[in-house]
Amino acid sequence: MKIQNIRNFSIVAHIDHGKSTLADRMLELTGTITERQAKDQILDSMDIERERGITIKASAVTMEYEHDGEHYMLNLIDTPGHVDFGYEVSRALAACEGALLVVDATQGIQAQTLANAYLATEAGAEILGVINKVDLPAAQPDLVAEEIEHVLGIRRNECFHISAKSGLGVKDLLDAVCMLLPPPADRSDEPARALIFDSQYDDYRGVICYVRVFSGTLKTRQRIRLMGTGYTYQVTELGKFRPDMRPVDELGCGEVGYVIANIRDLANVRIGDTITDDVHPAPDALKGYKPPMQMVFSDFYPGNNTEYPRLRAAFDKLSLNDASFTFVPQNSQALGFGFRCGFLGLLHMEIIQERLERENDIDVVQTAPTVSYEILLRDGTVKRIDAPSELPDRTMVAEIREPFVKLEIITANDTIGGIMKLAEARRCKLLKTDYLSPTRVMMVYKAPLAEIVYDFYDLIKGISHGYATMDYEFTGFEAEDLVKIDILVNGTPVEALSLIVHRSNAEPRGRKLITKLRKSIPRHQFEIPLQVAIGGKIIARETIKAYRKDVTAKLYGGDVTRKMKLLKKQKEGKKRMKNIGAVEIPQEAFMSVLDTSE
Amino acid sequence: MAELATGPTKSGRRASCVKREADSRSASWRALARGQASDERQGTRDDSLSFGLYVHVPVCRSKCRYCGFYSLPADRVDAPRLVDGLLLELDRCERTGFCTAYIGGGSPSSLPVNDLLRLVQQVRRRCLPAAEFTVECNPGQVDAGFLEGLRTAGVNRLSFGAQSFLARELELLGRGHSVEQIGAAVTAARRAGFENVGLDLIFAIPGSSPADWQASLDAAVALNIEHVSAYSLSFEPGTVFEAWRRAGRLAAVDEELDRAMYEWTIDRLERAGLRQYEISNFARPGFECRHNLGYWANRPYVGIGPAAASCLTLDIREGGRRITNDADIERYLAAVESGRPAPAQTQVVSPDDAVCETAVLNLRRRGGIDLAEFRRRTGLDPMRIFADPIERYRAMGLMEVTDRAVRLAGRALPVADTILCDFSALD
Ligand SMILES: Nc1nc2c(ncn2[C@@H]2O[C@H](COP(=O)(O)OP(=O)(O)OP(=O)(O)O)[C@@H](O)[C@H]2O)c(=O)[nH]1
Ligand code: SF4
Ligand SMILES: [Mg+2]
């Protein structure tokens, strides 16, 4: 394949604007999938993606296309749109020369439209503006085109008007990809360098690396070296996604595909690393990725302590498929051995937790997510903590700094009032307001991450009847008047339930928390006091009454089968609980920290 | 009610007397499997290696409002035919030498006396000489002649469904007998020569006050009986009580009072010399119900009749089966009359499950798990396989451990299920 006829591009957009559906149409038009194979959002291959109807992982696919009498190879990467998965998008973009920025014609520019447009520009990708869903009666393609021109500087007459659903305009878009997006730079004579932009683990074949070749050529049976980690392997299979894996003999410069080299040890492969030839290595590695910034942290413990090694193996495997979460061993006196995990956001956390349980059949107990804090100690040293329990003794702390973000909210101007009120209650400072169009506004705030990362999005969605969208970006740590709330269950402080909050808010938060706990911790054989302490002083108390009666009166011969079943079920229910100071604390209790509703 | 012993299950099913037992390693088990009790054991009361026999009579004179068990009204059942059917099923069973027998229901006493006696005689023939033989009776359905007949036919224990000594409560429960009839029945039983008489009582009846329950307990104690079973009322699906509760006509007794009533029961009966030997059962020393002790020891038994259950776990180390006859009387009779086994559901019990069943059942006994007995029966050390819950609950003061036994502490009894569930499966 002539390198001039290769096009590598990502499809990026706000969530649900139609990326995966556009990919479907392109796969059909290019004959990559037959009508028989076709199904909606075919690239969303994980169960969890199909159930939730969203893309979580970027996926690559190679298509062949005739344009103007020439044969083209198009490598498309479909990306997720949710705010948590910006990192997936930036990795995909690093493997491409171009990007299709899709905007829903009924919704216009949304928070992740902007965020992804910035990412594409940063990655140096050529952007094509695509206005989708023009088939819908509520579509306002001209207005949206105007907005795109006004906000993103893409000329309105250069936007493509399509319906990814019906296929309208998609062929023109493919032609435009061939004509308007640049080919990869020709570095076929240089030593081989391929960027690992993703990977996956297969029980039989080991690690499968998803790569983009930037220079030279990869061949089967070639000896390769991973430049970052230094490990060497022999390539056993090269191939392309079409969209299922098809072996090829070589991957040329500019191409996208996969490499299998019998890599068994997960730790040896790093996303963002460069593959080179072991005999004629490139002098330096490709620019990798800057590591993603984990926004929320939560501890995961196996429901049953003996499952720790299985949990570790499961995390190893998952991390290969998702480079953006971190996990470090954690030993809690109360909860046993587990892991402190870092995530890009709450959806990300939820997904990892669900995949863990589903793909590995492990019950986990998870502590409430928290942001990380910077602690300035009296001796002048600065310490980073990512769990409230790690906060050093009060007497040693000079100040507590919390993470701040630049928060962008896009909404309709008649919902501004409600959103501003909420933002104010959450200690957000309005920096500026921009009108995207006469009826749509972008508000930019400086916000404490802890105030917006959990339920804020849901709340503004509620206030704006589903209209508002938001995106945020970390800006730095700043000192605030923060205090730690401790929760004592049955007289024992439960570290996993403590939280750090602004002083002005501490007492009501603490009270609310134990009210929630009282409902989520089941009754026991004894009375359980719940207490809230701030700086060692008890400020509130609740009591969980003791279980008074739970016994089967009659158990004779004919009752045994049924009773054993019920008892087993009762026992099963205890599995997702952790025993702290003789109290069984269920999973939901740890999460009640998050629930700030009344 | 029907203080059912091998009680039928709610949905009601039934068991056949299975001919071939699982092969067992030990010779004595094999002998037992053929129903041959060894000579030296014939005259003893050591039930440890023998089967119990339960016969279910699913007939009641009228339906009590709280009862969720399968039974039909007496006037809709052809009693002679039913008894013939029970005898047919019993005939198919090759086993003899039962160490205990229990005819329950339903109300066996609602059968015409001749039919009941025919059943009693056949059951008696299959029992060891020293067997315990119980028949459940409704106090309103017995007279001197009836009881003498039972005594003469070899019945040596009676269990009366007294339930309450308050006329208002008996009326509410729909028991169909009076307070006076309870005393009269016990007196008649004594005259007929019964030295082992028990009563069933129900507490936490809707509307019941502490004084009400204490009055019933006092009245029961005053009758000088050997045995009491006391159950907290539960609202079973499909009963009149459950419907009334949903309609707001009845309210369950408050949990706190329910528990207090249970604790008074233990206290009052113990003071009267009726020792608690199981969660709901009390007896003068030596008068514990041997048949029911068999269930809690997880020993095998054969169940005859619609909705009766059999446990054919001979050697716990090998697991076994539980077979529950289907409830429907018509289908039952049609099957046994044409020489077929009674329609039944079989549940295979794995060795692990059999071990757990044993632990759970044992722990219902006041004596708990007898470590030596458990080791002998299961080949496993309970202190090892249940180390985790035992240690946890011991530390909480909810279990007591000696070098011979593990048992629930007294204060754990009202919440026993929250503890027993941790013994229901091996991790
Ligand atoms: N009417 C209409 N519906 C469309 C069109 N394109 C996509 N949709 C619908 O919009 C919804 C979202 O489409 P997806 O393709 O999953 O959107 P996405 O951008 O991939 O979403 P994420 O991957 O979760 O960010 C689906 O219900 C599609 O059927 C279109 O052109 N017209
Ligand atoms: S209806 Fe009454 S007598 Fe019959 S089984 Fe139920 S409780 Fe016993
Ligand atoms: Mg998608």
B114 touching A (Cβ < 8 Å): no
**Of the ligands numbered here, which is closest to the C-alpha atom of B137?**
2
Which option is the CATH number for A483-594: 3.80.10.10, 3.30.70.2570, 1.10.240.10, 3.40.190.10?
3.30.70.2570
Angle subtended at Cα B134 by Cα B128 and Cα B137, rounded to the nearest 5 degrees: 155
User: What spacing in Å lies between the alpha carbon of A344 and ligand 3's midpoint?
Assistant: 18
pLDDT value of position B46: 62
Mean pLDDT across the stretch B379-384? 96
pLDDT in tens, B318-375: 999 999 999 999 999 999 999 999 999 999 999 999 999 999 999 999 999 999 999 9
CA separation for the pair B39, B23 (Å, rounded): 22
DSSP β-ladder status, A6-13 and A98-104: parallel
B339-367 burial string, b = 16+ CB within 10 Å, else e?
eebbbbbeeebebebbbbbbbbbbbbbbe
Task: Fill in the amino acid letter for A371.
Answer: V
Chain A residue numbers touching B262 (CB-CB < 8 A)? 549
CA separation for the pair A346, A594 (Å, rounded): 11
- Tokens at B356, concatenated: 């757990």
ipTM: 0.88
The candidate with the shortest Cα–Cα distance to B89, out of B126, B62, B134, is: B126
pLDDT value of position A578: 79
**Of the ligands numbered here, which is closest to the C-alpha atom of B68?**
2
Domain A3-180 sits in CATH at 3.40.50.300
Nearest-CB residue to A567 (from B4, B412, B417): B417
The candidate with the shortest Cα–Cα distance to A349, out of A56, A115, A113, is: A56
B307 touching A (Cβ < 8 Å): yes
Chain B residue numbers touching A562 (CB-CB < 8 A)? 9-10
- A3-180 and A193-277 have identical folds: no
Task: Fill in the amino acid letter for B365.
Answer: R
DSSP β-ladder status, A373-377 and A296-302: unpaired
A561 touching B (Cβ < 8 Å): yes
- Tokens at A145, concatenated: 């085109």
What DSSP assignment string belongs to A194-253? EEEEEEEEETTTEEEEEEEEEES-EETT-EEEETTT--EEE--EEEEESSSEEEESEE-T
Specify the higher pLDDT residue, B28 or A236: A236
Judged against a pLDDT cut of 70, whether residue A4 lies above it is answered with yes
- In whole angstroms, how far apart are CA A469 and each of A5, A151, A408, B21? 38, 16, 8, 70
CB A424 within 8 A of CB A459: no
DSSP β-ladder status, A577-580 and A583-586: antiparallel
Domain A374-480 - what CATH class? alpha beta
pLDDT in tens, B272-286: 999 999 999 999 999
CB B325 within 8 A of CB B391: no
**What is the residue whose two structure tokens read 């005898």?**
B87
A523 touching B (Cβ < 8 Å): no
Judged against a pLDDT cut of 50, whether residue A201 lies above it is answered with yes
Taking an 8 Å cut-off on Cβ atoms, the answer to whether B356 and A574 are in contact is no
Measure in Å the smallest separation between the Cα of B354 and chain A Cα atoms: 10
* pLDDT confidence tier of residue B154, bands split at 50, 70 and 90: very high
**What is the pTM for the complete model shown?**
0.69
Residue-averaged pLDDT of chain B: 89
Mean pLDDT across the stretch A225-250? 95
Window from A83-97, A272-286, A543-557 with minimum mean pLDDT: A543-557
Taking an 8 Å cut-off on Cβ atoms, the answer to whether B421 and A570 are in contact is yes
What residues does each domain of chain A span?
3-180, 193-277, 296-366, 374-480, 483-594
Counting ligand 2 atoms within 8 A of each CB, the residue from B59, B61, B71 with the most, and so the one to mutate, is B71
CB A182 within 8 A of CB A71: no
φ, ψ at B322 (rounded to 5°): -115, 130
Judged against a pLDDT cut of 90, whether residue A487 lies above it is answered with yes
CA separation for the pair A192, A253 (Å, rounded): 8
Task: Fill in the amino acid letter for B15.
Answer: A
How many CB atoms are closer than 10 A to CB A577? Answer: 19
CA separation for the pair A380, B245 (Å, rounded): 68
Counting ligand 2 atoms within 8 A of each CB, the residue from B64, B200, B329 with the most, and so the one to mutate, is B64
Taking an 8 Å cut-off on Cβ atoms, the answer to whether B259 and A549 are in contact is yes
The candidate with the shortest Cα–Cα distance to B424, out of A575, A314, A112, A204, is: A575
User: What are chain B's domains?
Assistant: 21-296 (3.80.30.20), 367-427 (1.10.10)
Residue B351, C-beta contacts closer than 8 angstroms, at least 6 positions apart? B316, B317, B318, B319
Judged against a pLDDT cut of 90, whether residue A455 lies above it is answered with no
Taking an 8 Å cut-off on Cβ atoms, the answer to whether A558 and B256 are in contact is no
pLDDT value of position A584: 86
- Fold of the domain spanning A193-277: Elongation Factor Tu (Ef-tu); domain 3 (2.40.30)
CB B1 within 8 A of CB B200: yes
| CATH 1.10.150.130 matches A296-366 | no
Mean pLDDT across the stretch B120-133? 96
Give me Rg for the CA atoms of chain A.
27
Tell me, rounded to whole angstroms, the distance of Cα A463 from its chain centroid: 25
Mean pLDDT across the stretch B385-391? 96
B280 touching A (Cβ < 8 Å): yes
